[in-house]
Structure 1
Amino acid sequence: MSSNEIKLAADSRTEFGKGASRRLRREGKVPAVIYGHGTDPVHIALPGHESLLALRAANALLSITIDGGKAQLALPKQVQRDPLKGFLEHVDLLIVRKGEKVTVEVPLVILGEVKEGIVTMDQQTITLEAEATNIPAQIEIEVSALEVGQQITAGDLNLPEGAVFPGEPEDLILSVAAPITEEALEASLEGDAGEAPAEEAAEDEAE
């Protein structure tokens, strides 16, 4: 899957500060700033509902028009949300160009289930260098054929054309561990229980 441009019509804004931002949000708009490629930051107001929908996807590629002007492509650089209600509080947008490479965090998604064992994710996202207009929405990892003891490294991932992992191919992504048996769990619990008296005895001797 690759990114599609999402068109948003923005208004320029001249009022700043918390009070101005609150007024914008009451009007159903989101305060934002757009910058990059040597341009001065421009403060804008985005349509609230459309922006909320657009920014549900990671690395959404936005086509922004300001006051009806020429459209410019941008990626969300920082998105601030209300921690309780989830509405957008402020958005930082980075201007990008077609064909330009950008560094982004892309979600990793597991497909299928292992026949035996437990899948342990070493990381939930992966850093990729990709074309700004062709950023994958997610990287899928099929695990149904994996067995206990097997691993998936960065070099094993099926990356879309134009996307590059800047790290080492041996970097661990996930592994399949043996399932925890009842015997092992009981032994672990017994071991924990047996350690406490010894610790207490050592403390008594120290006193």
Structure 2
Amino acid sequence: MASKEHKLTAFGRKDEGKGASRRLRHAGRIPAVVYGGGADPVSIELEHEPTWLAQMNDWFYSSIITLAVDGKAQQVLLRDMQRHPYKQIIMHLDFQRVKAGEKIHVKVPLHFINIDESPAGKAADVSVTSELNDLDIVCLPKDLPEFIEVDLGNIAAGDTVYLADVKLPSGVELSHAVSEEHNPAVAVARFVKEEVEEEVAEEVPADDVPAIDQGGDEAAPEGEGESKGE
């Protein structure tokens, strides 16, 4: 699926350093930098709340963003985001400029479709699980998809969908070609019973299973349980 246009607004900043970044965060803003594209790096700032809402979407991480810095628009990709370890705060962002004629290397999420209509999806004792969540791709900016669909409408119990089975959009190629050594599973349809048995086998090693008492009460200590002489 081709990417839609996504926009963010930013403002240039001159104050740099830890102290300046700390003041920005206290004011509800995010320090950031834009680099690449044959131009010098530029320090910028973004409002935290709309940026936080934007980063909750897949496109924030894998799509080209139209970043307007002081009203001047440029095409960028997010290359790094630093979050606070436990607060809902973005600490810093790195954006890379992109050029129309230069290929880019991006991770794009996978979207699995038609699972419920598949033979495996209709079976009560079968579970379809994803083995990969995204793909490393290379393409021109104009060909960058927001995500790549994997149609699982025909997957049946016991089937495995491999990387070689994924249909890539026009103009998109994998960063690493598929080969005998590199063709990982993308999705697998397993019987639920088999999954449970595998999990139990992993969690409870045979050596750790307690012995089962085969019957009778514990043996009475020597001398007990005998009738006393009259």
Shorter-chain-normalised TM-score: which range? 0.7 to 0.9
Q: Deviations over 1:79-128 (max 9, x none)?
A: 11223233321110000012432111111222224234333433221111
CA–CA separation in structure 2 for the residues paired with 1:131 and 1:53 = 27
Is 1:122 aligned to 2:131, yes or no? Answer: yes
Q: Assess, with a 3 A threshold, how the Cα gap between structure 1 residues 188 and 67 changes in structure 2: closer, same or farther.
A: closer
Between the aligned partners of 1:109 and 1:46, the Cα distance in structure 2 is 30
For the pair 1:62 / 2:65, whether they are aligned, the reply is: yes
2:105/2:175 contact within 8 Å kept: no
Partner residue, 1:201: none
Once superposed, which parts of structure 1, at least 4 consecutive aligned residues long, lie more than 4 Å away?
181-189
Identical residues among aligned pairs (%)? 33
Tell me the distance in 2 between the aligned counterparts of 1:154 and 1:192.
Answer: 33
| Greater CA drift, 77-86 or 31-40 | 77-86
Structure 2 residue 22 is matched with structure 1 residue 22: yes
Q: Distance in 2 between matches of 1:182 and 1:40?
A: 53
What TM-score does the superposition give when structure 2 sets the normalisation length? 0.72
| Structure 1 match to 2:218 | none
Residue 87 in structure 1 maps to residue 89 in structure 2: yes
Structure 1: gaps (5+ residues)? 198-207
2:152 counterpart residue number: 143
Residue 33 of structure 1, CA deviation: 0.4
Name the residue aligned to 2:187.
Answer: 174
Contact 1:6 1:54 in 2 (8 A): no
1:76 deviates by 0.5
CA drift at 1:167: 2.4
Determine if contact 1:153/1:169 at 8 Å carries over to the other structure.
no
CA–CA distance in structure 2, aligned partners of residues 143 and 137 of structure 1: 19
Instruction: Show structure 2 runs of 5+ residues with no match.
Output: 210-230
Which has the larger Rg?
Answer: 2
1:42 maps to what in 2? Answer: 42
RMSD: 2.9
2:25 counterpart SS class? helix
- Shift in Å at residue 45 of structure 1? 0.8
Q: Is the 8 A contact 1:98 1:131 kept in 2?
A: yes
**TM-score normalised by length of structure 1:** 0.79
